[in-house]
Structure 1
Amino acid sequence: MDLAPEALMGPLLMLLGFVGLGWIAAQRLKIDPRPIATLLVYLIVPLTIFRALMEGRPSIDYLALTLAMFLLVSLMALGVRRLTQARFGPQEGALLAFSSGTGNTGYFGLPVALILLPPEGVTLYLFCMLGINVYEFTVGFYLSARGHFSVRQSLIKMARLPLLYAFLFALLLNALGVTLPDALMESLDVFPATYTLLGMMIIGMTLSQVTLSAWDSRFIATCVGLRYLLWPLVMLAAVLLLQQVTPLAPELGMALLLLGVVPMASNVVVVAMELGIQPQKGALAVLVTTLLAPLLIPFYLSLMLRVTGLG
């Protein structure tokens, strides 16, 4: 299977368009991105995840994928935190640790998944993505907070996040067989689009405040390395290992490989903004990895699909 760079231009242009809207909003309307980051963290993201779980009706097998991905990315982030804390400042190290466990699996990866994967593969991709989302606002948020707060303060901040409670509440309702009214589910349909729009606009708003002093070549190079070296290798190794120990569905293998090649997550900027840890550096790194995506993703996917025999 070969994915031409042209196939990525639609998602890329959409994302960059939203970034541009955010830049204009901050420049011309003087909009402060910090309240928007708070709105995303405490309202829009939890309701988006809640809706996805209520709509998807997760099975044990699907939730096992979510749990496995959550554990994998949490271990990656903890490992990167240990390796980078002595080489970077506490805030930069915390931001690197957070970013190493996540990627732009939703805003960028999902449109590509719809092109690349069959329907069953898209479902598998979504439940893997859900594990990454849960990481972002649990372990990832804690690691980020540790760049600026004590252990106790970080745990308190993490405990106040509603995403985990929304996740558990949705699982409880599914376990009890509760079906929400159609009118309520339809009213929740607005949140995924809002999540995408505001999540990318906040990058543009942050970039509007960037000065030359925010450019950190070592930090950005490390972010690019984590996203386009570490992640592809980890996902490739995971697929090869699974192929050796169990019959691996090709759809799942392709979903895992795609997770390994998406750009940095825009939630890096959202969390950095909420916690006050170098959001400008985060925004620059996200922009660089997003611009590299059309060049690197087709190359990586073609190579990885050949190595795993899934192409």
Structure 2
Amino acid sequence: MLQTFISTVYHVFLPISLPVIGGALIRKFKKIDTKPLSVLSLYILSPALILDTLLKANITYGDVTQTTLFCIINLLLLWGISTGVGKILSLPPAERSGLTLITLFTNCVNYGLPLVLLALGQAGLDKASVYVIIQIIIVNTIGVYFAARSHFSMKQATLSVFKLPSIYAAAIAMILRMTNVELPQGLDQGVSMLAGAYASMALIVLGAQMVSANKQESATLTSSMNKAFYAGLVLRMILSPLASALILYIMGVRGILFDVLLILSSMPAAVNAVILAEQFDAAPKVVTKCILWTTLASFIMLPLMIGWMQ
């Protein structure tokens, strides 16, 4: 087991750590603003990766069906658990909303996709692309609801999905696949070049965001905020992986799809969660602190999980 853990750290997490460390250093010493990099990643590199992967992905309708069903069941289960924990701990509404965001949404794009690619190869990335598209839709609709609650607008949440180019990239890829039309060679090469730049850029942004989160998390938390923070750590990093594994087992999911879905659903709290938390006052200090500490914890937990899978 120890040998497998060391091998996983060396072959998977060491390559990932280099751009993360680079992003952290450039943020700390050069005070780089990550927003332009995030925009570049979200609006150019991520759609290119989705388009390139889905066009060439070896996925079946069964993969899509199982992934969609898993996402729905996992969402409902974790929502019920986080709601119950929030009531048991007598958390105020803001902390309950923050706890829900921490529990439900993972950093499956910036961190998860590069990790799956290194750990499971192109076959894993193919299947991961379906999960990521579903999560993008969920975060920008249901995620807004969980963050906003009282002033939620279904129309605004739905429209926000259609502002994301990754959705259109996925739609174009599916149309081209169904009609058996291939991109011209030059265009295909250009898309592939952009897709290849995604992983490094996403990890650089992640490292820079971790430094920002470290500066913000020093803020003093109230008693209810502390309860929400520790509950978020346990739910995201312990209970969520166990619940996901149980759901996948009951569904009969096996093989590489099982590995992909378990890894992506066990990732640390999503960076996008703090954006929603700040916009709708859903305990952003708690969410920011959880993002930092769940990300740090993942560098121990995820190698153990991947080693167990192998």
TM-score computed with the length of structure 1 as normaliser: 0.73
- Asked whether the 8 Å contact 2:19–2:207 carries over to 1, the reply is yes
Q: Deviations over 1:198-228 (max 9, x none)?
A: 3543343344445422584322212211222
Q: What percentage of aligned pairs have identical amino acids?
A: 19
Alignment CA distance shift 1:153-1:94 (3 Å): farther
Instruction: Return the alpha-carbon distance in structure 2 between the equivalents of residues 89 and 157 of structure 1.
Output: 29
| Structure 2 counterpart of 1:212 | 219
Pairing partner for 1:264 from 263, 269, 277:
269
Q: Deviations over 1:253-277 (max 9, x none)?
A: 3333333443223333354456665
| Structure 1 counterpart of 2:302 | 297
Displacement of 1:282: 2.5
Residue identity matched to 1:54 = L
| Structure 2 counterpart of 1:177 | 180
- Asked whether the 8 Å contact 2:5–2:304 carries over to 1, the reply is no
Q: Name whichever of 97-106 and 39-48 sits farther off.
A: 39-48
Alignment CA distance shift 1:88-1:113 (3 Å): same
Displacement of 1:98: 2.8
| Structure 2 counterpart of 1:17 | 21
Residue identity matched to 1:63 = V
SS in 2 for 1:213: coil
Displacement of 1:181: 2.8
Instruction: Return the alpha-carbon distance in structure 2 between the equivalents of residues 172 and 127 of structure 1.
Output: 15
| Structure 2 counterpart of 1:161 | 163
Displacement of 1:171: 2.3
Please list, as runs of the form range in 1=range in 2, the aligned pairs for 1:132-281 lying within 5 A after superposition.
Answer: 132-144=135-147, 146-147=148-149, 149-152=151-154, 154-155=156-157, 158-162=160-164, 163-188=166-191, 189-190=193-194, 192-193=198-199, 194-213=201-220, 216-243=225-252, 248-272=253-277, 277-281=282-286
Alignment CA distance shift 1:261-1:274 (3 Å): same
Instruction: Return the alpha-carbon distance in structure 2 between the equivalents of residues 63 and 152 of structure 1.
Output: 25
Please list, as runs of the form range in 1=range in 2, the aligned pairs for 1:88-99 lying within 5 A after superposition.
Answer: 88-99=91-102
Alignment CA distance shift 1:269-1:298 (3 Å): same
Please list, as runs of the form range in 1=range in 2, the aligned pairs for 1:47-62 lying within 5 A after superposition.
Answer: 47-56=48-57, 58-62=59-63
Q: How many residue pairs were aligned?
A: 297
SS in 1 for 2:91: coil
Alignment CA distance shift 1:98-1:76 (3 Å): farther
Alignment CA distance shift 1:69-1:274 (3 Å): farther
Alignment CA distance shift 1:168-1:71 (3 Å): farther
Instruction: Return the alpha-carbon distance in structure 2 between the equivalents of residues 182 and 131 of structure 1.
Output: 29
Instruction: Return the alpha-carbon distance in structure 1 between the equivalents of residues 121 and 152 of structure 2.
Output: 45
Residue identity matched to 2:204 = L
Q: Deviations over 1:143-185 (max 9, x none)?
A: 33x2573335753663553244443343233323332233334
- Asked whether the 8 Å contact 2:233–2:294 carries over to 1, the reply is yes
Instruction: Return the alpha-carbon distance in structure 1 between the equivalents of residues 17 and 47 of structure 2.
Output: 27
Name stretches of at least 5 consecutive residues in structure 2 with no aligned partner.
none
Displacement of 1:84: 5.7
Residue identity matched to 1:231 = S
Instruction: Return the alpha-carbon distance in structure 1 between the equivalents of residues 40 and 95 of structure 2.
Output: 24
Instruction: Return the alpha-carbon distance in structure 2 between the equivalents of residues 35 and 272 of structure 1.
Output: 21
Q: Name whichever of 113-122 and 132-141 sits farther off.
A: 113-122
- Asked whether the 8 Å contact 2:8–2:306 carries over to 1, the reply is no
- Asked whether the 8 Å contact 2:54–2:173 carries over to 1, the reply is yes
Name stretches of at least 5 consecutive residues in structure 1 with no aligned partner.
none
Residue identity matched to 1:72 = I
Q: Deviations over 1:42-94 (max 9, x none)?
A: 66545543443234275423322442233234324542564366543444333
Work out whether 1:102 is the aligned partner of 2:111.
no
